[in-house]
Chains A and B, each alone.
Chain A
């Protein structure tokens, strides 16, 4: 790599391109619901096995987030834990580098 911010530039281009492709597909694909691929996979399981989707019951009883709001709250919590770990360590490394 010859110039300093090559990776930063590349990452920005990749993310912008990714978002651009998303905007394009979401506006041109009429039937796209952007459901989770987990659920699409479950749909295919029902199709292949010939068992209706409702008949798949948890083998071990499971708590479900009562609403999408609560689910997104818990997902944000998971990301926040990860973010705290990453930020904390990078901060620690930067601080100890300055001291040295």
Chain B
């Protein structure tokens, strides 16, 4: 999902930076508040953030004959919402642009918007829709993770299509072409990522159910039902 340094015209770099910055500031503010209110959230932040570090470093081969990486943002989105997730993503993406030449400082805003903001917002919307229904928590985690991953790549396609509309067919045909590269490659990765993070969530449910209940991530009944499922 990285747009490479130099591949986005300056005006678009600025647009995406302007969108990304308020989200990051809101995220930092929320992060400070959450950690000050309850120090026990720090380990949860460590686990959910840790998976963003791990999964976004794994470049996996896909059916289209190219490689792409999962985003790992699902757990963090469910636990802390999209804004705090965007801060963790910004750290990972900054590391990758400084040391790995994946993305770059000018396109960092655009990359934060796709991986750290739009993907998690879509995931968070799904989570809020399913949270108070009878849908199983593991299925919820799977859907949130897979969709956050997919929509990250849809957003990258959108960002590139806006900057490079095709001569014939304009924005739409260009969007379809970029989707063909990014989104299609991503489908199998998103499914595997969703299952793996649902499994990780099971371990959190087994080991530390009280923190999930205290942060009101899921209701007590749902967590208890999930514990019964797991044992």
Q: Given A7-B202, A18-B192, A57–B6 Cβ distance below 8 Å? A: yes
Chain A 53-66, CB within 8 Å of chain B: the 1/0 string?
00011111011110
Which residues of A lie under 8 Å from residue B199 when comparing CB positions? Answer: 7-8, 10-11
Q: Given A22-B61, A82-B50, A89-B43, A41–B10 Cβ distance below 8 Å? A: no
State the main secondary structure of chain A at its contact with B: helix
Is B22 in contact with chain A by the CB < 8 A criterion? no
Chain A 66-100, CB within 8 Å of chain B: the 1/0 string?
00000100111011011111101110111001000
The residue that B54 contacts in the complex, of A6, A11, A14, A86, with Cβ under 8 A, is A86
- The size bracket of the interface on A is 35 or more
Chain B 59-73, CB within 8 Å of chain A: the 1/0 string?
111111111100000
| B102-126 residues at the A interface, CB under 8 angstroms | 102, 104-106
The residue that A90 contacts in the complex, of B52, B98, B102, B203, with Cβ under 8 A, is B203
Which residues of B lie under 8 Å from residue A36 when comparing CB positions? Answer: 59, 66-68
The residue that B67 contacts in the complex, of A7, A15, A35, with Cβ under 8 A, is A35
Q: Given A82-B50, A90-B203, A33–B192 Cβ distance below 8 Å? A: no
Kindly report which residue of chain A lies nearest to residue B182, judged by CB atoms.
A37
Residue with the greatest number of chain A CB neighbours at <10 A, chosen from B55, B65, B96: B65
**Cβ of A54 to closest chain B Cβ, rounded Å:** 11
Interface residues of B (CB under 8 A from A): 1-7, 10, 13, 43-44, 46-47, 49-68, 92, 95-102, 104-106, 136, 138, 156, 160, 164-167, 174, 177-178, 181-182, 185-186, 188, 191-192, 195-196, 198-199, 202-203, 207-208, 229-231
**Further pairs besides A81-B50, A89-B47: 11, Cβ < 8 Å:** A7-B198, A14-B191, A15-B196, A22-B61, A31-B65, A38-B4, A41-B178, A75-B57, A82-B53, A86-B50, A89-B46
